[in-house]
Amino acid sequence: TDVNLSGFPHYMLKEIYEQPESLENAMRGRLSDEDATAVFGGLNLSAQDLRRINRVILTACGTSWHAALVGEYLLEELARLPVEVEYASELRYRNPPVENGTLLFAITQSGETADTLAALREMKRKGHPTLAICNVVGSTIAQEANGGVYLHAGPEVGVASTKAYTSQVVTLTMLSLYFGRLRHLSFEAGTRIIGQLRALPQLIRETLHCHDEVKRIAEKYAHASNFLYLGRQYNFPTALEGALKLKEISYIHAEGYPAAEMKHGPIALVDEHTPSVFIMPQGPVYDKVMSNLEEIKARGGPVIAIAARGDSEVARLADDVIYVPEVTEMLSPLVNIVPLQLLAYHIALHRGCDVDKPRNLAKSVTVE
Ligand code: G6P
């Protein structure tokens, strides 16, 4: 037995269960009630410099790229900044017109991903300020960026990223709060967001109570060959990340899609053997997602829904429901990804896959 596993059968499960704590560590010392904002020690840019930023590019690979997509919604909503999310492997070879006042964030667990490093160097060469959102202290990207924020998630051993992802998302939330408060976001709004962030670790702890239910559902669907993951707005990236987790460790083909977009193609895949996972928190797009769900049911597709506790409507339509605590939509990707991590984990176990070391994948891709 491996002492580092602290009794868990796999690193992936251990790291899923560490999330209440890793989120606390990401937030420790970074929330200021006095100024209703977030504080960061290592940005190496003055508030004055940062106020001059009028556009943000978020670049990353893999799961970190999904965190960037959530960051796009957050920065646009809280800081009203125009944001672009770019695959690092694409950004490095493009020559996009980038105006002055553009800030690059490189998001990376390892800080060593070759494409992310190359994209960062390319933007630096062109004179743009660069910041890293990184887990590994002293890594190449952490050193080469002008400044940045460490996740403090602790070592992530499982190849499929779990706790680093939620730490990236919570860090992007704090950065959005910070940029918002440098601009137009009110003291009151800042205070409200801080309260919601502080409540988060306990909500993730409660979310983990879905484990037994997820395990049961995983056994029911473990033999499927295709899965669809569907969500909208803040949870469109959750759909992408849920599908990626399943692909990575169970080798089942899975596609994440914006829920409404599925009628432009993926719906052709729907039959009684193809489950769809719907992410449907309470919020402004709930009814829209529900009507997308009805379309899948009408075509005989099994539906697994991730819904807020107390939602009785969804239980009448979905075949299986995984209930999670209700939370404001902006923070719901952090809660909703937890059952999807567990779902991928149990489906992979059921199929006899090596969850911590999936075939063909590396924890950190240091070649192009
Ligand atoms: C590899 C890993 C993924 C990770 C991606 C980016 O593909 O298997 O889990 O999301 O690299 O890694 P980074 O360290 O830059 O976040």
d(CA 83, CA 333): 18
Phi, psi of 307 (to 5 degrees): -135, 165
In this structure, are strands 31-32 and 37-38 parallel, antiparallel, or unpaired? antiparallel
Taking 3-state DSSP, the helix, strand and coil percentages for the chain, each rounded to the nearest 5, stand at 50, 15, 35
Cα 132 from Cα 104, distance rounded (Å): 8
Mean pLDDT of 155-160: 95
| Dist. CA 165–CA 237, nearest whole Å | 11
Predicted confidence (pLDDT) per residue in 16-63, tens digit: 999 999 999 999 999 999 999 999 999 999 999 999 999 999 999 999
Task: Tell me the mean pLDDT in the region 196-216.
Answer: 98
Q: Which of 59, 63, 244, 341 is the best mutation target for the ligand 1 pocket, counting ligand atoms within 8 Å of the beta carbon and taking the most?
A: 63
357 lines ligand 1 (CB under 6 A): no
- Ligand 1 lined by 162 (C-beta under 6 Å): no
Say what the pLDDT of residue 201 is. 98
Task: Give the sign of the dihedral formed by CA 211, CA 213, CA 215, CA 218.
Answer: negative
Pocket test residue of 11, 113, 159, 167 for ligand 1, highest count of atoms within 8 A of CB = 113
Residue nearest to atom 4 of ligand 1 (CA): 62
pLDDT at 1: 58
How far, in Å, is the centroid of ligand 1 from the Cα of 32?
31
CA 189 vs CA 33, 53, 76, 288, 341: distances in Å: 12, 22, 15, 27, 31
CA distances (Å), origin 211, targets 23, 240, 341 = 19, 21, 10
**Is the distance from the beta carbon of residue 176 to the nearest atom of ligand 1 less than 6 Å?**
no
> pLDDT class for 287, splitting at 50, 70, 90?
very high
Question: Six-digit token pair at 63?
Answer: 């799961």
Helix (H, G, I), strand (E, B) or coil at 322: strand
Q: Is the CB of 63 under 6 A from ligand 1?
A: yes
283 with 326: CB under 8 angstroms? no
Q: What is the mean pLDDT of the chain?
A: 96
Could you tell me the pLDDT band of residue 240, with boundaries at 50, 70 and 90?
very high
Is the CB of residue 365 below 6 angstroms from any atom belonging to ligand 1? Answer: yes
> pLDDT at residue 125 above 80?
yes
Nearest protein CA to atom 7 of ligand 1, as residue: 62
Q: Is 133 helix (H, G, I), strand (E, B) or coil?
A: strand
276 CB within 6 A, ligand 1: no
- Residue 363 known to be catalytic: yes
> From CA 97, how far away is CA 170, in angstroms rounded?
30
Confidence of residue 313 (pLDDT cuts 50, 70, 90): very high
C-alpha to C-alpha distances, 75 to 274, 359, 363, nearest whole angstrom:
35, 36, 28
Q: Which atom of ligand 1 is nearest to the CA of 63?
A: 10
Give me the mean pLDDT over the 119-126 stretch: 96
What does the pLDDT read at residue 96?
85
The protein residue with its alpha carbon nearest to ligand 1, atom 3, reads 62
Ligand 1 atom at minimum distance from 141 CA = 15
pLDDT at 204: 98
Measured from the CA of 160, which atom of ligand 1 is nearest?
9
Residue 263, pLDDT > 80, answer yes
Residue 363 Cβ < 6 Å to ligand 1: yes
Q: How many angstroms is it from 365 CA to the middle of ligand 1?
A: 7
For the cut 90, the answer to whether the pLDDT of residue 278 exceeds it is yes
Tell whether the model's pLDDT for residue 3 goes beyond 80.
no
Averaged pLDDT, 262-279: 95
116 pocket-lining for ligand 1 (C-beta < 6 Å): yes
